[in-house]
């Protein structure tokens, strides 16, 4: 299912807004994808990400984390999932795609959604939160470590990265050990769990508490 979606995305977006040679895509590229791909408009339980979101929701619910800050929130499917499955009280989602934010406000009216750039935002200081969620975002950014550094110390963080390349990915990871080698310095007790969505595609779920490393 995932491979079919990525092929469809490539075909729809090609010729409209092509990522630069280094793989970095602008907001217009993502706007086109969100407008054109039906998978971004379906209920969360029908998404190919549902198996991953349900694990994240369970961890948030089990830890009684009631206030969520989602960096790179997309079109609001995960927000709706967390309100229903994790029993959260507040949710703030940030995305630099205007189209994604417009869709998110329709998909999940209970959430608060903000257009902004994960690399430069001050939303961590402005939005009260117990947990940071950042799914399928870091692999798109050359400045991924700057994004991680912006996470608030002592906050629980749940992030995902993939094991597969794509035209807007600037990196991917072959193993949980590679993921830990890049991100573990920024978290206390980082656990990296491989979750297979289809053969051979895997998402690595990172779960840890942000420490103060890199904030000096």
> What spatial distance separates the first Cα and last Cα of the chain, rounded to whole Å?
43
Residues in the chain: 216
Rounded to whole angstroms, the Cα distance separating 127 from 46 reads 29
Q: Which residues make Cβ contacts (< 8 Å) with residue 145, sequence separation at least 6?
A: 182, 186, 214
Is 193 a domain residue? yes
Q: Tens-digit pLDDT profile for the chain (216 aa)?
A: 444 444 444 443 444 445 443 557 788 989 999 999 999 999 999 999 999 999 999 999 999 999 999 999 999 999 999 999 999 999 999 999 999 999 999 999 999 999 999 999 999 999 999 999 999 999 999 999 999 999 999 999 999 999 999 888 999 999 999 999 999 999 999 999 999 988 889 999 999 999 999 986
Torsion angle of C-alpha atoms 47, 52, 57, 59, degrees rounded to 10: 170
Is 191 a domain residue? yes
What's the CATH code of the domain at 86?
A: 3.40.50.150
Say how many domains are in the chain.
1
**DSSP line for 35-47:** HH-GGGTS-GGGS
Is 216 a domain residue? no
Is 15 a domain residue? yes
DSSP code of 184?
G
Rounded to whole angstroms, the Cα distance separating 156 from 133 reads 9
Task: Residue 41: give the domain boundaries.
Answer: 2-210
What SS3 class is residue 159?
strand
């Amino acid at each position: 299912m995932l491979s079919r979606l990525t092929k469809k995305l490539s075909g729809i977006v090609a010729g409209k807004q092509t990522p630069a040679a280094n793989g970095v895509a602008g907001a217009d590229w993502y706007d086109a994808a969100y407008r054109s791909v039906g998978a971004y408009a379906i209920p969360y339980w029908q998404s190919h990400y549902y198996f991953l979101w349900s694990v994240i929701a369970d961890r948030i619910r089990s830890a009684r984390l009631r206030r969520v800050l989602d960096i790179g929130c997309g079109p609001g499917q995960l927000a709706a999932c967390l309100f229903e499955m994790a029993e959260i009280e507040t949710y703030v989602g940030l995305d630099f795609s205007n189209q994604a934010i417009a869709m998110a406000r329709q998909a999940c009216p209970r959430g608060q959604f903000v257009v902004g750039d994960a690399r430069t935002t001050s939303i961590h200081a402005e939005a009260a939160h117990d947990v940071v969620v950042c799914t399928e975002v870091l692999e798109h950014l050359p400045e991924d470590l700057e994004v991680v550094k912006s996470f608030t110390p002592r906050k629980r963080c749940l992030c995902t990265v993939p094991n597969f390349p794509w035209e807007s990915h600037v990196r991917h990871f072959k193993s949980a050990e590679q993921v830990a080698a890049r991100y573990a310095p920024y978290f206390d007790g980082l656990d990296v769990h491989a979750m297979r969505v289809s053969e051979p595609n895997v998402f690595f779920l990172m779960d840890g508490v942000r420490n103060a490393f890199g904030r000096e």
